[in-house]
Structure 1
Amino acid sequence: MTDIAPTPVFDYFSQVDLPTPTLSDDEVQRLFADTFGGEIDVQALGSQQDQNFRVFARGSAEPLGVLKLSNPVFSEAEIEMQDAAAARVAERSPQVRIPRIVVGPRGAMSTWWESSQGRIHARVIENIAGRTLMGSGYLSPATVENMGALSAAVSLSLADFTHPASVRVLQWDLRHAERVIDTLLPLEPDAGVRAIVQRAADAARAALAPVRDRLPVQAGHFDVTDDNVLCAPGAAVPDAVIDFGDVCASWRVGEIAVTVSSVLHHDDATPETAFPAIRAFDQVRDLTDDELTALWPLVILRGAVLVLSGRAQVRLDDENEYASVALDREFRILEQAASVPIPVITAATRAALGRSRSEEPAWTGAPVLSLGRHVELDAATESPLNDEGAWLDASTLDDAAMAAIDAGADVVTVPAWRARLTGTTDPLPSTPETVPTDVLVWLAAPADADDALVWTVGAESVTTLPARTRLSARRPLDAHVPPRRTTRALADAWREVAGDPGAVIGVPAAAPTPDDLLDRRHEVLAEVQEHYYAAPPRIERGWREHLVDVDGRVYLDMVNNVASVGHAHPRVVEAGSRQMHLLNTNSRFHYRAITDFADRIAATLPDGFDTVFFVNSGSEATDLAIRLAMAATGRPDIVAMREAYHGWTYASDAVSTSIADNPNALSTRPAWVHTVDAANSYRGKYRGADAVKYAPEAVAVIDELAASGRPPAGMIAETYFGNAGGVALPDGYLTEVYAAIRRHGGLAIADEVQVGYGRLGEWFWGFEQQGAVPDIVAVAKSIGGGHPLGAVITRREVADRYRTQGYFFSSTGGSPVSSAIGMAVLDVIEQEGLQENARVVGGHLKRRLEKLGEKHDLIGTVHGSGLYLGVEFVRDRETLEPATAETAAICDRLLERGVIMQPTGDFQNVLKIKPPLVVTQASVDVFVDALDHVLTTGF
């Protein structure tokens, strides 16, 4: 029997140096014409070991495809295998776009060229439309997830693919990574790089060794990376895979390990960033426990191979720009892959996949401290220690500990693993690393320090621990000392792997409990009662312009005009608390607070506004204002401006025409509602100087209604176009429209719910900007500082006509507590100069945002005044095409960077910037810097 000769295939270790082909453009064009026919233009593309061009028919801007000149070391069988694997994936996973060989006038464009550099294989592959993720810009969780899904689809499609050439030995095959490192490491001239690679690779080898022989093997692409996936034009996530040049048989888990590695060099990436990709892969390929053990060691080894190979390629071919540019990215991959100890990131990955967790290592020795009377302090987000901003004082914890010791405690501790907000002296810009890994200890008297306690404290020369001094004890993992603060996921993983340092001194922390609050919210609240963000942080504390989640992360609140004078303002809290101690009851009782508050709020308005109604919300306020107009005139018709939102009650919803809040708003208005064009001088029918035409057209609508025998009862409008993101009405608009409505016996209603109460800086009320005076003012949000409170203010003769509709009362509108809080809010605005703060800080913020618009084309304009601003994003500054998807993505990325922001406007393409009025210039600078970073690095 004759043995069949094995297919000759490439073996990297027989030829470590792989110089890239460097054919000239002229030679490529000549050879192309000779073999495939037709004259072409070429555009060079990067590659580490091949030579690639995008090719065009001469004079055309439409690409024919991508010409790939394979490195001469690769055999015909290997090239045929690559094409066959691509065809298999295209057949098995039709949802994935895969390039095929282009068929030209002379057949398939795939052949061997006899070039000036020897025999080279040339083939033209379809040019798949779209963009790669090349570079180090930001990758969203959805993008990372799709990368994992593509990796899984390719892996599944090739699960039973076989080919004689699949046994080739590539430097990128992770089964050979250790040998590649051993080959290249001695050749690396930089001792610092050698040390970093050696240390990381040694840890990876040790972790991989127990499972390497049990890992499943199959054919795979093994290069589903950011450079080799494409997003279709206009799409945010990838759906195509290109470049099957690394196809071989290797460990199945290597497919996702390679994908994960390519995520790690991107902006803000950490090992946790890769979890969406791993989850997506696992859902399709069901990673075994051995594969999970191997995953992160393989990611590290991939990073080490990339670093050494890239640097070796540049030394060999210093004109290879593709390899040169990649050096920093490849080094960052290795740094990030090795930034968390393998056991810890592996435990966190298992938890992210919902796999069972192991028990944390128990402390088997006796406690190293004799505790006596022990007091444990709570420094978490909701602890009373943190009230009234005390969490920003570095001395708060020490003061509390000393007070406990003075009261008789022998030992005071603060546990590890639980959020520790207290002592956060520099909250912005915030980071997600908020969970402490150490236990804090204060001793009433000196204590001997045995080896175990010295080890955890990390003070090797200490033999006696001093009294009344804070100690920070952590349990190292092998040679790794945990960071003092880490993320929630990694904190749980560190605890699982290293154990609890509190157990060493006899005060173990309580085991973490799963937080199912969001699931419960979805179960008990109506689906239409939405919350911000798909995966919202759980916010349990606010202070000034800060919001704090349960893990102790501090967010900058740039959207919350409800908390007008800042979250948890002490004067507002004290006023409500004091009044609650005294009386809170139905507003129909006789008590002082409601009268005093009515006097105070009326005094902020022009003469004639002498009568106040109190309600509980902006919706109720605008609803009541409409009913007042109807009752005062005896008419049912109301004129409203389009694209506005006034509330959710029957009447306020009837006059709301924002399609963002109700897509069917215009088609479902009752017959008594008549609308006029949104007077938006930026993107409305009339723009710029032509915006003066809005008022005459609105007047014409009012006149026509009167002429038809239906003179309107009133006209309601936001006095500053708040729902669109702070767009000022054209100068004189309200003066003209108010005059027209009054000429026909109607009343002018000013909706000041969003912009009133000093937010605009220059003006306390929005109508002041117009030089107009309404008949009825509706206001809420700001006046309660977060407490449910609204008001309608008008003249006595208008209010008295409401008797024709019966009588009015709101049980808790203007209650004793509501009134006390309302007066405290006014006190704070006036006495702390918050209107002036809105003017000064808001002016600074607007100038910075406008400067940002000079840098980023996505910013169409900046609307607004004071601390009611809007950044409008457009895809084209001429057509003003709304950048809706981009705005949502920007808000999500800002959340990752610690800034609360939401979109507004009919197209949801405007940032609604309306922070608490106490916001500082330093805080708004943090916001602008974060926005600049997001717009620069991607979203």
Structure 2
Amino acid sequence: MILESPAPSFEPECAETMAREYFGIDGRAEPLGSERDQNFSILSSSGARFVLKISNPAEDPRAVEFENAALQHVAAVSPAVPVPRLRPTLSGSSVARHRDDDGKLYLVRLITWLAGVPLRQVKVSGALRRQLAVTLADLGRSLRGFFHPAAAKPLLWDMQQVADLAGLLPHIGDEALRESCAGFVSHFGREIRPALARLRSQVIYNDLNPSNVLVSVGPAQRVTGIVDFGDMVHGPLVCDVAVGAAYQLGGGEDPLAGAAEFVAAYHREVPLEPEELELLPDLIAARLVMTVAITSWRAARHPGNREYILRNAAAAADGLRRLAELGPDGARDRLLAACPPVPIAPAPPASAPEDTGALVRRRDALLGPAYRLFYRNPLHAVRGEGVWLYDADGRAYLDAYNNVPLVGHSHPQVVAALAAQAATLNTHTRYLHRAVLDYAERLLSKFPASLDRVMFGCTGTEANDLALRIARATTGHCGVIATAWAYHGNSATVAQVSPSYASGEAREDWVELIPAPDTYRRPTGTDDAALCAHWLAELDAAIDRLTVRGIRPAALILDAGFTSDGMFLPPPGLLQGAADRIRDAGGLYIADEVQSGFGRFGKSLWGFELHGVEPDVVTLGKPIGNGHPLSATVIRSTLLDRFAEGTRYFNTFAGNPVSVAVGLAVLDVFEREDLLENSRSVGAYLHEQLRSTAADFDVIGDVRGLGLFAGVELVKDSRGREWATGLAAEVVNGMRERGVLISMIGPQTNVLKIRPPLPFGREHVDQLIATLRDSLQAAVS
């Protein structure tokens, strides 16, 4: 039996040799804890981290094949489930075969490192507990269609075999606990095991214990990894739930509160059947008995690993005592109350699926040619969740492009707020409604005191259109200056200052365009001060050209990240100098924060704040509503008062109760999940990994940006800096085919645009970088 065999005991130096010779990874090895195998963390010379797993020599090779096949299956059908990925050996196999000096065979694997700390090291919040249950449900769904012959292997941790543990009970030192476990083992054999045969079964993970779950560090707790698939087995699905719930028992007056919350969250995802719920308290107790009995026996056999083996034993013993105090009926009633029957909606009528080509032809016929699609092979997205989009075939795509779902696609708190308000009232701002005032106060509190009024719209276009209207009305001027490849919206007025959108339209004489401050192609030896001076001279020249035509400027409108121009972060002093010049000329400085604001840069909430400048007007778009039609124009009261003297503003759906309920929910999620800090920390890791990638590919000329806002400029070679437009298209389309979504931007469309939802994690960065490397390699070869 494998649990009778001691774990391998290789030195770190030997692990480093294995990583290098079998997998081509040079790195430093550090030991990690394990019950029956030996694991090492491998930090490679490039900064990437892996886990080297050396299987117990008593392990059946078929069991390792089973584990590998399951990991590959989950990665293929549900890539959003955070499980490790296998790295192949240099020969292309998923496992290396290593013999020690005595000829003993060890199976060696290298898997990706998942960021986070073990769940046992953190205080578990209700939100994290619910997410844990949802993750287990997702993992179970991904394993539904999977089987492997080794799934039927004998396993001591198989809950179906609890009645066979009688021989291990003498190793339990506490007499009362030993007798209690013996009584339960007998009860299980008589009453529970026969009933298990009637339950739905599949391959289950079977080991959701606090050492096998990784979570993010910080206030925005989330599950970042599920590790150690060595206890998988074919068994009743509810046993998987029971294992997870057993570790959620707590103290206090209601020891089942955490377990009930966990089970209820799972039940909402995968409804449990009545007989499963009926047996659940006994199955939770079974896991606790198994933990006490097996770890007591293992600790006696392997005293050198005693501390690691017994890490969950005391909590299991305490859980058994508390369940006994509740009694089987009390525990059952508590769990049943938490899991009301889930109504099953009738299936929609079947319709014949349309392939991509048919959909494109239908779209062209109905919507016309002015609409554009991303990618050579257009994506047919049918669902979004977090940082993932899913196509009509159920394939998941990592979304590293869309800034609009700011707090993640279909965030449940945002969806719930929308649905609740839509079911109550939706009207307009000509009636009094408290929520729009609550939202206005919350939003304005995020801005400098001078920006003390807000007007709502439905899109960024509307926000910018209103901003330009106010600028013209309050200055008495009509000229507008923007950058040469900007995008600010699509109305007749705003399209004039959106050359990247309306490049083929005639430009009105009140418009002047100036180049963006290109921090990559600046003349050799030009420092930041010289670049600022050069760009501000361009702005002066634009003001002069307007003056020659008898036009005075009403506004300068800028995106602080110059996103559509190629994603440039201007050097210090540039935006303040621009604001000073446009005001001296009689105009206003409008900060368009639709793409670069709301925590995108990580170091500040708004892009203009990075530069210590205060705009006259700030515009916000759909990210403030997580994609719901909501926008805002934030403005100085002195300007708004002057504007209101001559006109009024009304927009039927702007600031409606549903929209502001969504806006408030987005603010709540943003603050509670600390997404500004996530943008800063994960963004720093993103840029570090992008720079590391650039060092390996001469076609990457520049990596720029900040936080979760990154531009990667592709060139034919880094010395000549010639635009590589075709290469960028190949990379973007290659990444789409490999399951990661980005886009390209800039006048020559040679800048890769990376701008994901803010819950993006380090594990997502790792997948993005690996896919970028693969796509670059394929494109350049």
Deviation at 1:399, TM superposition (A): 14
Query: Which TM-score applies when normalising by structure 1?
Result: 0.46
Q: Confirm or deny that 1:393 pairs with 2:234.
A: no
**Corresponding residue pairs, total:** 473
Q: Confirm or deny that 1:892 pairs with 2:635.
A: no
Deviation at 1:722, TM superposition (A): 1.2
Give me the whole-angstrom Cα distance separating, in 2, the residues matched to 1:890 and 1:736: 37
1:534-933 aligned within 5 A: 534-658=376-500, 661-664=501-504, 668-683=506-521, 688-689=526-527, 690-692=530-532, 693-703=534-544, 705-706=546-547, 709-803=550-644, 806-933=647-774
Aligned partners of 2:386 and 2:409 also within 8 Å: yes
Aligned partners of 1:853 and 1:859 also within 8 Å: yes
Aligned partners of 1:706 and 1:744 also within 8 Å: no
Deviation at 1:788, TM superposition (A): 1.3
Give me the whole-angstrom Cα distance separating, in 1, the residues matched to 2:719 and 2:142: 60
Aligned partners of 1:593 and 1:816 also within 8 Å: yes
Give the 3 Å change call, closer, same or farther, for CA 699–736 of structure 1 in structure 2. Answer: farther
Deviation at 1:535, TM superposition (A): 2.1
Deviation at 1:806, TM superposition (A): 3.1
Query: Which TM-score applies when normalising by structure 2?
Result: 0.55
Give the corresponding residue for 1:343: none
Give me the whole-angstrom Cα distance separating, in 2, the residues matched to 1:584 and 1:733: 43
Aligned partners of 1:647 and 1:653 also within 8 Å: yes
Which amino acid in 2 is paired with 1:824?
Answer: A
1:107-146 aligned within 5 A: none
Which amino acid in 2 is paired with 1:673?
Answer: V
Aligned partners of 2:224 and 2:763 also within 8 Å: no
1:446-461 aligned within 5 A: none
Deviation at 1:429, TM superposition (A): 13
Give me the whole-angstrom Cα distance separating, in 2, the residues matched to 1:879 and 1:443: 62
Give me the whole-angstrom Cα distance separating, in 1, the residues matched to 2:693 and 2:434: 50
C-alpha offsets along residues 6-59 of structure 1, whole Å, 9 cap, x if unaligned? Answer: xxxxxxxxxxxxxxxxxxxxxxxxxxxxxxxxxxxxxxxxxxxxxxxxxxxxxx
Give the 3 Å change call, closer, same or farther, for CA 855–630 of structure 1 in structure 2. Answer: same
Aligned partners of 1:725 and 1:913 also within 8 Å: no
Give the 3 Å change call, closer, same or farther, for CA 543–388 of structure 1 in structure 2. Answer: farther
Deviation at 1:768, TM superposition (A): 1.3
Aligned partners of 2:484 and 2:565 also within 8 Å: no
Aligned partners of 1:725 and 1:863 also within 8 Å: no
Deviation at 1:590, TM superposition (A): 1.2
Aligned partners of 1:678 and 1:684 also within 8 Å: no
C-alpha offsets along residues 328-365 of structure 1, whole Å, 9 cap, x if unaligned? Answer: 99x9xxxxxxxxxxxxxxxxxxxxxxxxxxxxxxxxxx
**SS of corresponding position for 1:840:** helix
Give me the whole-angstrom Cα distance separating, in 2, the residues matched to 1:702 and 1:911: 32
1:191-590 aligned within 5 A: 392-394=135-137, 513-516=352-355, 518-519=359-360, 520-590=362-432
Deviation at 1:898, TM superposition (A): 1.0
**SS of corresponding position for 2:493:** helix
Give me the whole-angstrom Cα distance separating, in 2, the residues matched to 1:610 and 1:714: 19
Give the 3 Å change call, closer, same or farther, for CA 934–839 of structure 1 in structure 2. Answer: same
Deviation at 1:744, TM superposition (A): 2.5
Q: Which has the larger radius of gyration?
A: 1
**SS of corresponding position for 2:487:** coil
Aligned partners of 1:429 and 1:898 also within 8 Å: no
Deviation at 1:388, TM superposition (A): 8.0
Give me the whole-angstrom Cα distance separating, in 1, the residues matched to 2:544 and 2:379: 51
Deviation at 1:513, TM superposition (A): 4.0
Give me the whole-angstrom Cα distance separating, in 2, the residues matched to 1:874 and 1:414: 54
Give the corresponding residue for 2:259: none
Give the corresponding residue for 2:303: none
Deviation at 1:516, TM superposition (A): 4.3
C-alpha offsets along residues 109-157 of structure 1, whole Å, 9 cap, x if unaligned? Answer: xxxxxxxxxxxxxxxxxxxxxxxxxxxxxxxxxxxxxxxxxxxxxxxxx
Deviation at 1:707, TM superposition (A): 7.1
Aligned partners of 2:556 and 2:587 also within 8 Å: yes
- List gaps (5 residues or longer) in structure 1: 1-267, 269-327, 332-386, 402-407, 416-424, 431-438, 445-466, 470-509
Give the corresponding residue for 2:11: none
Deviation at 1:904, TM superposition (A): 1.2
Aligned partners of 2:483 and 2:565 also within 8 Å: no
Give the corresponding residue for 2:777: 936
Aligned partners of 2:729 and 2:744 also within 8 Å: yes
Give me the whole-angstrom Cα distance separating, in 1, the residues matched to 2:428 and 2:553: 35
Deviation at 1:674, TM superposition (A): 1.5
Give the 3 Å change call, closer, same or farther, for CA 514–586 of structure 1 in structure 2. Answer: same
- List gaps (5 residues or longer) in structure 2: 1-71, 73-90, 94-129, 145-194, 203-212, 215-222, 226-233, 240-274, 280-348
Give me the whole-angstrom Cα distance separating, in 2, the residues matched to 1:640 and 1:581: 42
Give the 3 Å change call, closer, same or farther, for CA 553–412 of structure 1 in structure 2. Answer: farther
**SS of corresponding position for 2:665:** helix
**SS of corresponding position for 2:634:** strand
C-alpha offsets along residues 371-412 of structure 1, whole Å, 9 cap, x if unaligned? Answer: xxxxxxxxxxxxxxxx989763248869999xxxxxx99988
Give the 3 Å change call, closer, same or farther, for CA 713–925 of structure 1 in structure 2. Answer: same
Give the 3 Å change call, closer, same or farther, for CA 409–808 of structure 1 in structure 2. Answer: farther
Aligned partners of 2:479 and 2:553 also within 8 Å: yes
RCO higher in structure (CA 8 A, sep ≥6): 2
Give the corresponding residue for 2:270: none
Deviation at 1:611, TM superposition (A): 1.1
Give me the whole-angstrom Cα distance separating, in 2, the residues matched to 1:850 and 1:398: 37
Deviation at 1:620, TM superposition (A): 1.2
Give me the whole-angstrom Cα distance separating, in 2, the residues matched to 1:593 and 1:443: 43
Percent identity reads 37
Give the 3 Å change call, closer, same or farther, for CA 511–744 of structure 1 in structure 2. Answer: closer
**SS of corresponding position for 1:925:** helix
C-alpha offsets along residues 234-291 of structure 1, whole Å, 9 cap, x if unaligned? Answer: xxxxxxxxxxxxxxxxxxxxxxxxxxxxxxxxxx9xxxxxxxxxxxxxxxxxxxxxxx
**SS of corresponding position for 1:860:** strand
Give the corresponding residue for 1:224: none
Give me the whole-angstrom Cα distance separating, in 2, the residues matched to 1:578 and 1:536: 34
Which amino acid in 2 is paired with 1:546?
Answer: W
Which amino acid in 1 is paired with 2:543?
Answer: I
Aligned partners of 2:561 and 2:568 also within 8 Å: yes
